[in-house]
């Protein structure tokens, strides 16, 4: 049933992290979908889209995430010249992204469509050294962010009861892929929305 959960203005991020934490803690995420790193893998798994969840992210010296790791940065695969969409006579340097697959780095193109190019990456990668870089997977970073506080602490930031956030998480994840979040006003109107 419908539930109105009025939160303190500007605490939408805290609410989202509480819901995300519950999803991770209760393993209510679609690992097959999240591990599809490119279009080919998504198509093979029967999904119209793919995610960056398994893509590797470089960490700075303080352990903070920076940018996606590129294959050329670790000598895995060279950049290649590709035609631009606007003018095929012009080219740009395409640099492959990287995931770990069974613990080994694999270069991939997110838009590759051929079945043989399907890449499924490891979802939870924590502090792996590749060349001069320490990396984590995108999903690992999100999971760690959600676990910086308990659901009760996130709820307190929002001015809510933790039990309401748990009930919302349970309801949201009980519908499989038939649930969605419609973000309008509030969150989308913030400068960091």
pLDDT, position 1:
55
Give per-10-residue mean pLDDT for the chain (193 aa).
82 94 96 97 96 98 97 97 94 97 97 96 97 97 98 97 95 85 64 57
Nearest to 68 by CA among 34, 32, 108: 108
pLDDT, position 176:
83
Nearest to 23 by CA among 127, 136, 139, 102: 139
Two structure tokens written together for 99: 């995931």
3-class secondary-structure state, position 2? coil
pLDDT, position 77:
97
pLDDT, position 179:
78
pLDDT, position 3:
76
Dump pLDDT digits (tens) for 97-139.
999 999 999 999 999 999 999 999 999 999 999 999 999 999 9
Nearest to 96 by CA among 121, 115, 59: 121
Provide DSSP, 66-130. EEE-BGGGGTSS--EEEE-SS-TTSEEEE--EEEEETTEEEEE-TT--SGGG--B--S---SEEE
């Amino acid at each position: 049933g419908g539930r109105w959960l009025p939160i303190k203005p500007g605490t939408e991020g805290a609410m989202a992290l509480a819901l995300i934490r519950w999803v991770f803690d209760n393993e209510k995420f679609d690992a097959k979908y999240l591990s599809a790193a490119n279009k080919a893998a998504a198509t093979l798994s029967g999904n119209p889209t793919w995610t960056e969840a398994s893509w590797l992210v470089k960490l700075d010296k303080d352990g903070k995430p920076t940018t996606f790791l590129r294959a050329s940065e670790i000598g895995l695969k060279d950049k290649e010249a590709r035609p631009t969409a606007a003018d095929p006579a012009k080219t740009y340097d395409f640099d492959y992204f990287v995931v770990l697959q069974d613990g080994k780095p694999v270069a991939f193109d997110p838009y590759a469509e051929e079945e043989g190019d399907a890449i499924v990456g490891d979802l939870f990668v924590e502090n792996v050294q590749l060349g001069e870089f320490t990396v984590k997977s995108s999903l690992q970073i999100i999971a760690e962010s959600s676990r910086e506080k308990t659901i009760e602490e996130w709820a307190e930031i929002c001015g809510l009861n933790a039990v309401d956030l748990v009930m919302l998480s349970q309801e949201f994840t009980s519908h499989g892929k038939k649930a969605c979040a419609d973000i309008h006003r509030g969150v989308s109107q913030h400068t960091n929305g």
